Amino acid sequence: MVARQSAAGPSPGAFMAEVIDATPGGDPHLELCVQCGTCGGSCPSGPDMEHTPRHLFAMIRAGMREEVLRSNTPWYCVSCYYCMVRCPQEIHITDIMYTLKRMAIKEGLYRESTAVAAPSFSETFIDFVNNYGRSFELGLATRYHLRHHPLSAVKMAGLGLGMVRKGRMDLTPKRIEGIEQLQAILAKARELAADSGPSTRGGAR
Ligand code: SF4
Ligand code: SF4
């Protein structure tokens, strides 16, 4: 755990420490970012993102907490892992994007992000979870880009197939065991959300 508070208030490094601590799966090596920009150059969602992953990580380093948690960037991350494969510092970029989403939801800053204007993105994710019990990275990226950026979908196809060949990504979605139970839980959750009215449904997706 990194020290986060000085007498003058939170230090710029405090936010980075918070993000690192909140990212599951071990140290994501965020502090090792050398700002090379390889991640942004690999990212199929770059045109929609307010900040490239490189820029976002510089903002985290600078302690720009609210600006980072209001950024639409994590919400446009389609979990394709292209950036992670290419990052020379082996930074867990995709995992950090999930962490930032969780933090933005927890603090309600998600609602101030322009990502709320992209419901089709989260709908695609939810469709996969409903049908298979998990996200399907290749399908998520492909469906989103075919809908919004067909040319970039074609451009990224070769890279995606390379990752399938290396076993980094599945070519087809795999359904989890016990999907029926999960679907029953999700149906109940939808029922409860409907009963509690529109205020709860308008939250983070
Ligand atoms: S590729 Fe890795 S080291 Fe380079 S800017 Fe992105 S996160 Fe930082
Ligand atoms: S995992 Fe997310 S941030 Fe990385 S290249 Fe894919 S969409 Fe971009």
Convert the pLDDT of each residue in 118-156 to its tens digit: 555 566 666 666 666 666 666 666 666 666 666 665 566
pLDDT digits (tens, 9 = 90+) for 63-91: 999 999 999 999 888 888 889 989 999 99
Q: By alpha-carbon position, which residue is closest to atom 3 of ligand 2?
A: 77
17 and 111 housed in the same domain: yes
State residue 64's pLDDT score: 96
33 and 58 housed in the same domain: yes
Q: To 10 degrees, what angle do helices 53-61 and 12-22 make?
A: 120
State residue 205's pLDDT score: 30
Instruction: Name the token pair of 62.
Output: 């600078």
89 and 181 housed in the same domain: no
Question: Does residue 8 register a pLDDT over 60?
Answer: no
Measured CA distances, 151 to 60, 142, 143, 154, 201 (Å): 32, 11, 13, 5, 34
Asked whether residue 201 is assigned to any structural domain, the reply reads: no
| 96 touches ligand 1 (CB under 6 Å) | no
61 and 44 housed in the same domain: yes
17 and 103 housed in the same domain: yes
State whether residue 139 is helix, strand or coil: helix
Asked whether residue 202 is assigned to any structural domain, the reply reads: no
State residue 6's pLDDT score: 45
State residue 97's pLDDT score: 94
95 and 163 housed in the same domain: no
Instruction: Name the token pair of 201.
Output: 């449904």
Of 84, 91, 100, the one to substitute when testing ligand 1's pocket (max ligand atoms within 8 A of C-beta) is 91
CATH number reported for the structural domain that contains residue 47 in this entry:
1.10.1060.10
- Ligand whose nearest atom lies closest to the CA of 156: 2
142 and 101 housed in the same domain: no
21 and 84 housed in the same domain: yes
How many Å lie between the centroid of ligand 2 and the Cα of residue 42? 8
pLDDT band per the 50, 70, 90 thresholds, residue 37 = very high
pTM of the entire predicted model: 0.63
110 and 122 housed in the same domain: no
Average pLDDT of the chain is 76
24 and 81 housed in the same domain: yes
Instruction: Name the token pair of 29.
Output: 């090596």
Which residue range(s) make up the domain with 137?
118-196
How many Å lie between the centroid of ligand 1 and the Cα of residue 52? 10
Number of domains in the chain: 2
Short-list 120, 127, 72, 126, CA closest to 100? 72
- For 167-182, what is the mean pLDDT? 68
Q: To 10 degrees, what angle do helices 137-148 and 150-165 make?
A: 160
pLDDT band per the 50, 70, 90 thresholds, residue 113 = confident
How many Å lie between the centroid of ligand 1 and the Cα of residue 34? 6
Q: Which residue has the higher pLDDT, 156 or 94?
A: 94
| 124 touches ligand 2 (CB under 6 Å) | no
